[in-house]
Amino acid sequence: MTSLFRFVSDRRDYLLLAAMLASLHLAIWIDFGSLLSRALFLIHLGFFLLWQPLERTEERYSWYNSLLLILLSFLFVYFINWWLVFVWLVLVLGIVGGRVVNSRAERFVYYIVMVFLFSEILLICLPMMFTIATLPKGISSLNYLLLLVPVLLPLFKPAKRSPVPVDIIYAITTSLLVSLIALGSLVIMYSAGTDYVTALIRILLAIGLFLLFISWLLSANIGLSGFSQIWTKSLLSIGTPFETWLDELSALKDQHDSAEEYLDVAIEKLLTLDWISGTYWNNQLKGKKSSHRISLDISNKPIEIYTHIRVGGAVLIHCKLLIRLIEYFYQAKLNEIELAKQAHLQAIFETGARITHDIKNLLQSMHSMVTILQADTDERDARSLLILKKQFPYFIQRLEQAVNKLQSPEQLIADEIYLRDWWNEFMNHYRSFDIQFKDNINSDLRIPFDLFDSVSENLVENAINKRKLDPEIDITVTLQGNDKGISIEVEDSGQAIPKELVDRLFQEPVKSNNGLGIGLLQASKQAGTLGYELKLKHNSDGKVCFRLEKSRSLNQGS
């Protein structure tokens, strides 16, 4: 039972299609017009409503639509005749031919269904409509052969995908082509005085050769590929070449800084189209009014377009497309302006964050100098005055750098300095803070001054802040500069950074009593911009070490 249910569920679409075709064929074949035939037609219409791909099957019909469908079905069955059957078969054939499928097996199935309906029209319905008696005797056996089609359909398995809607162009083309073949065969039969089968073969050959010629003409292999674009251009280029309109809108977007100014100019550009006489936008009339008007909107703002003549469906769709393109470029201009603002604000934010940290360090240095100056004269010794002489120039230099960053926040200061010169100045600045310095410099290398100065100072100040909580902490700064690379490490013997903060340390601002927050975040971003990497090398009680070094990816690339 489970396998049967799965079989029916997997092949539901083909089972309904098979039942629909079988009931249709039997209604035409078995005593057409009798009560049994009319009952079979009602069954056929029921299966068609279950199978039809025009609307989603999960939608519920309102009582009005349901009553209308029932009424139309009974009227169709009550007034049934060969002309109604012919029209219905053409419509069903168009729906089947309009379904767009990608699977080769599914396409083959629908080809078989189209052949079935095509045979019903040409070999059964049309001869009965015009009482054509000159048919071969073997045609009657075709009724049994056509029954094999609905019997074989459930053997195929449809592709598992969402229902594909019917392409209206394909459907109309298929219906018109079948109607042309049917009526053309009758015209040839009566005009040439031949039998129906001969006329049918002639029209099939003529239509086939015509389609073959069109296919050859549109083929890119003969060098006439431009013909294949005629249909597309006819849909997109009503009143103006589509590519030209795109180029003009793109050029207008680049020529104007304001999005509103671009929008006004783009709408005014509509007046260059021959079929548009005027526009009404922002309570302003451009051009001339006419009795033919199209009401649309751009970004929830109404716009009225006046045309010289009454527009049809294709022109209306084309006009909506032009307006949507204007709106698209308008939104792109707004996004471009917003991104520029965000980039500027981001640059100001990142620069301000670094400057805030620099100013905090400057305030700490100033606090130390003010403490020395406020001391009594007798307490000032030569060593304190020497410290002041070293700190004041450094303090002024750092303040000048902060001012320069504020004046140009979008420019990253990347001035280079000899590594040994920077190292000597750095050691002189922190020599009075009981810090152990180690170095291994054996070549004249240059480094980004602002990067090493701000990052190293940030790491050392964080370690000094930890020492305020635990005076026994030892601080060691190790510099390496040789052919193997450049790196600087700041290590302290304090407590390890909590594990919940380690993963967020260089990714986002972190709240901490030791100052490990936005300073490290901005230092990491600054290092990455200049091709360096700031990382936490060791993190354990008694050994917390940060390391700034050249990024490995750049080293490998070089």
Calpha distance 243→410 (Å, rounded)? 38
CA–CA dist 122, 179 (Å, integer) = 10
Decide if 41 contacts 79 (C-beta within 8 A).
no
Handedness of CA 165, 168, 174, 175 (dihedral sign): positive
Of the candidate CATH numbers 2.30.42.10, 3.30.565.10, 1.10.1740.10, 3.40.50.1000, the domain formed by 413-557 belongs to: 3.30.565.10
* Domain boundaries of the chain, sorted by first residue: 2-217, 239-343, 413-557
Q: Nearest-5° angle of CA 370, CA 373, CA 378?
A: 150
> Does the predicted TM-score (pTM) go above 0.85?
no
Structure tokens that stand for 131 in this block: 């009482």
- 3-class secondary-structure state, position 116: helix
Provide the residue-wise pLDDT of the chain in tens; the chain has 558 residues: 677 777 777 788 888 999 999 999 999 988 888 999 999 999 999 999 888 877 655 556 677 878 888 899 999 999 999 999 999 999 999 999 888 676 778 888 889 999 999 999 998 898 888 888 777 776 767 878 888 999 988 888 776 655 556 777 788 888 999 999 999 999 999 898 888 888 999 999 999 998 888 777 766 555 555 555 555 555 555 555 566 777 788 888 888 878 888 888 888 888 887 778 899 988 888 888 888 888 888 888 899 999 887 776 667 777 888 888 888 888 888 888 888 777 766 666 666 666 665 666 666 666 666 666 665 555 556 656 666 666 666 667 666 766 666 555 545 455 688 888 889 888 887 877 889 999 988 767 888 887 888 888 888 888 888 888 888 899 999 999 887 788 999 999 998 888 878 877 777 766 655 554 556 777 788 788 888 999 999 999 999 999 999 865 444 443
